[in-house]
Structure 1
Amino acid sequence: MQKLLFSIAIFLVHFFGVAQPNIILIESDDQSNVAVGAYRFGNIKTPNIDKIAESGVYFTNAYNMGCWSPAVCIPSRTMLFNGTFLWNASKITKKNVPGPSLTERLKTAGYETYVTGKWHALGKSPKATFDNYGTILPGQLKTYNSKDGHYTDIVGKESVAFIKMAAKRKKPFFLYTAFNAPHVPRQTEQKYYDMYPPKEVILPPSVKAGPLHPNIKYNYTSAPLNPKTMKNRYQQNNAMVTHMDDRIGDIISALKNNGLYENSIIVFMSDHGISFGENGVAGKVCLYDISAKAPLIIMGPGMPQNKKKKERIYLQDIYPTILELVGIDIPEYIEFNSLVPQIEDNTIVSPYSSIYLAMFNDQRAIVKDNYKLILYPQAKAAELYNLKLDPWETKNIITDKTKTPTLKKMGAAMLQWQKNTGDTLNLKYIYPNYFK
């Protein structure tokens, strides 16, 4: 029945323009899957984000493709709004864009657009692409506390104010609410810190005392890695997330109070995750799942409810997904894939036979058939993990000779991705045993 309702909703939008839904895209910064209650880890409190998951579909294996900058959010958000893969996105400037951004396409389709919060993407400025805007914040705040209040509260209040204004009009709207939270500096009210006493913080099993990862360039701590320090960071991070979740609750309430909730698509996502000691890393410039993956949750008219999807996809697939949901043709140059088939039908597999990940020229990874191969070309090092048996990536099985066929298969997939994405790094020369 849910599949039928969803199909009908899309059909009506596509062919009759009936009840074109509003779109609310809420994005956080540096938030891993473990920092969402619906993803079932630890004691994080996110009741409002969880409500979105319970009312829709949530993807547990949504990846950010990688970065060319230590500020990983820039590549992630540039890919999100422009729809192109990593290396094509890296070439984008204000004057060199592949085509209209997500915002501009929605404007052309009759949507009123509004942005508040963080903007950290290449291409045109938000003031040049959105109809309306609130407080535009930089990628890195010096402090969350301003003369007008905490920036998490400001972004939440501005979102609510826009919803109230939009409710008085008959025009559909696109609201982009971009929280800086839980990115550093992790400043919030004491009541939120008090919810997470460090002694009660649960660390993933991949957090261990000892040396930092030798092949990760950007680590935001000094060696040796201290689990006690990481517990404090988890406490601060969780506090920031719960504060943000309260403001998300205000946004949901505003939609309901103004009669807009039933005809709104709500997306919650983050730009990428972050490591707090997992795998010897304290940062986000790495390709372990804790950092490479982030939450992606979507609900809307006719969609299935409380559906957990394990397909491996990309976070930026949400761009073409939104276009299809509201009946806008997806242009050919968009390289990411719509997730509508996966949302509509549980039997549809991921549009990707493998997941390609890359950071600068010092990290590459491929995920295929529940295995992940991570390469560190500058160090000529490699790691192989069985993600089904070892989801926290704690046991490197690269020396297991029985995995040679697996490595060959993954090497072939990597070469194909390099060809498709314009990745010129010569991995065959560095790793002759993995590549034909």
Structure 2
Amino acid sequence: MRFKIGLILLVCCWNNLIGQPNIILIESDDQSNLAVGAYGFGTIKTPNIDKIAASGVYFTNAYNMGCWSPAVCIPSRTMLLHGTYLWKASKINASNVPGLSLTERLKASGYDTYFTGKWHALGKKPKDIFDTHGTILPGQLKTYNSPKGHYTDIVGKEAISFINKAATKNTPFFLYIAFNAPHVPRQTEQKYYDLYPKDEIILPPSVKAGELNPNIKYNYTSAPLNLKTMKGRYQQNNAMVTHMDEQIGAIMESLKINGLYENSIIVFMSDHGINFGENGVAGKVCIYDVSAKAPLIIMGPGIPKHVKKEGRVYLQDIYPTLLDLIGNKIPNYIDFKSLKPILLNNSEENLYESIYLAMFNDQRGIISDNKKLILYPETGVSEFYNLEEDPWEINNLINAKSSISTIKKMAKDFERWQKKTGDTLDIKEKFPEYFN
């Protein structure tokens, strides 16, 4: 009995000693799951991101809900910082917010907050919500090269400088590191390009030469789709990611040197992915999985190591998850869900019965039970995929007789999502065969 009481007191003293965990949120831009080694595609070299995955839980089906802007990062980051669904988030501005942003809520909980890198979100400006900040970069750089060096290196060094200062204090901190990489212009040193010879680039099976997808408005290339050009883009993208990965490694090392690593929640994620020819798309304004999904990796105290989760979640679930992990109450207005039950292995894989996706008024989608329905209201085209058997979304099953009953069930579910998200698009008019 005395031993048990002593153990309880020891644990309590230890918890008081370490205090609240620090939070480091690292976000890249335009990085798909295909550009992380741990996710298992191609020859991408990301040893430091892979170490984070090996030290925590990584999600292979984390989705960005969609966009109202061709700069998909704006909706994604606005939803991330404010915790509300797509169409509610589209109405946010500096004077119209649903509540405190993630940063403000952590600050109110005693966290020292710092930001460096790309800012591309609606709401208040970084200087108004962070205690301090480093270089604030726009969503679209003209060049990565500045008089002070490459911006990927600058952001990494500023993060390390903050960590060194934070180590001298007894205050938990929230460090938000937002790299522009690997977003265009894809400029880095030649040594990184040399790691990925064009003739060795592996393109996914859904990349086909020829016509561009006629249902997608925003393609960043001219028809016909050229495989050599797409290999070049993969080379540039991979080079940018590997460069960024080196800075992430330096950041992780600084946490270890300063004795902060073990008591830190570390999140690596991207705002969305990007297609380099997959499904006839050279861009990111689409809801095919290569663009709609992005890496999401979480490690920290009490979180299991090297665990892969395939359940479908949203990238924006990070806001409530971080609050939940530090014991804060999640406000009622937050739409997204905490991943804590999944992280601690005491819940079902799927937080959501289905995943709703939307781009402007010209694309809608829903995923349920590994089936994916895509609707293009402006062209009247529809697509239906079995993601378990066809993860690259190559074989459109929309005309198969066996598909119709499942599609109609998913259509009803989609209507429920429309009500939840405030989606006012009249989808029934364009697709009466599914909704009546």
Q: Normalising by the residue count of structure 1, what TM-score does the alignment of the two structures yield?
A: 0.96
Shift in Å, 1:349: 2.8
- What residue is the counterpart of 2:322 in the other structure? 322
- What residue is the counterpart of 2:108 in the other structure? 108
- What residue is the counterpart of 1:192 in the other structure? 192
Contact 2:310/2:349 (8 A) holds in 1: no
Please tell me whether residue 269 in structure 1 is matched to residue 269 in structure 2.
yes
- What residue is the counterpart of 2:3 in the other structure? none
- The separation in 2 between residues aligned to 1:134 and 1:345, in whole angstroms, is 37
1:20-59 → structure 2 map (5 Å cutoff): 20-59=20-59
- The separation in 2 between residues aligned to 1:350 and 1:334, in whole angstroms, is 18
What's the CA shift string for 1:10-53, capped at 9, x where partnerless? x979x979621000000000000000000000000000000000
Q: Name the amino acid aligned to 1:424.
A: T
Q: Name the amino acid aligned to 2:192.
A: Y
Q: In structure 1, the residue corresponding to 2:434 is in which secondary structure?
A: coil
Contact 1:318/1:338 (8 A) holds in 2: yes
Q: Identity, % of aligned pairs?
A: 72
Contact 1:12/1:18 (8 A) holds in 2: no
- The separation in 1 between residues aligned to 2:39 and 2:12, in whole angstroms, is 32
Q: Name the amino acid aligned to 2:171.
A: K
Shift in Å, 1:327: 1.1
1:221-370 → structure 2 map (5 Å cutoff): 221-345=221-345, 347-370=347-370
- The separation in 2 between residues aligned to 1:384 and 1:98, in whole angstroms, is 35
Q: In structure 1, the residue corresponding to 2:266 is in which secondary structure?
A: strand
Q: Name the amino acid aligned to 1:336.
A: F
Q: Name the amino acid aligned to 1:250.
A: A
What's the CA shift string for 1:91-119, capped at 9, x where partnerless? 00000000000000000000000000000
- The separation in 1 between residues aligned to 2:393 and 2:228, in whole angstroms, is 21
- The separation in 2 between residues aligned to 1:350 and 1:384, in whole angstroms, is 21
1:41-190 → structure 2 map (5 Å cutoff): 41-190=41-190
Distance of aligned partners of 1:280 and 1:41 in 2 relative to their CA distance in 1, 3 Å threshold: same
- The separation in 2 between residues aligned to 1:30 and 1:326, in whole angstroms, is 29
* Count of residue pairs the alignment pairs up: 426
- What residue is the counterpart of 2:389 in the other structure? 389
Q: Name the amino acid aligned to 2:124.
A: K
- What residue is the counterpart of 1:3 in the other structure? none
Q: In structure 2, the residue corresponding to 1:429 is in which secondary structure?
A: coil
- The separation in 1 between residues aligned to 2:71 and 2:346, in whole angstroms, is 35
Give RMSD over aligned pairs: 1.4
Contact 2:53/2:306 (8 A) holds in 1: yes
Structure 1, unaligned runs of 5 or more: 1-7
Shift in Å, 1:185: 0.1
- The separation in 2 between residues aligned to 1:319 and 1:18, in whole angstroms, is 23
- What residue is the counterpart of 1:403 in the other structure? 403
- The separation in 2 between residues aligned to 1:17 and 1:325, in whole angstroms, is 18
Q: Name the amino acid aligned to 1:332.
A: N
Structure 2, unaligned runs of 5 or more: 1-7
Runs (4+) of structure 1 exceeding 6 A deviation are none
Contact 2:18/2:263 (8 A) holds in 1: no
Q: Normalising by the residue count of structure 2, what TM-score does the alignment of the two structures yield?
A: 0.96
Q: Name the amino acid aligned to 1:206.
A: S
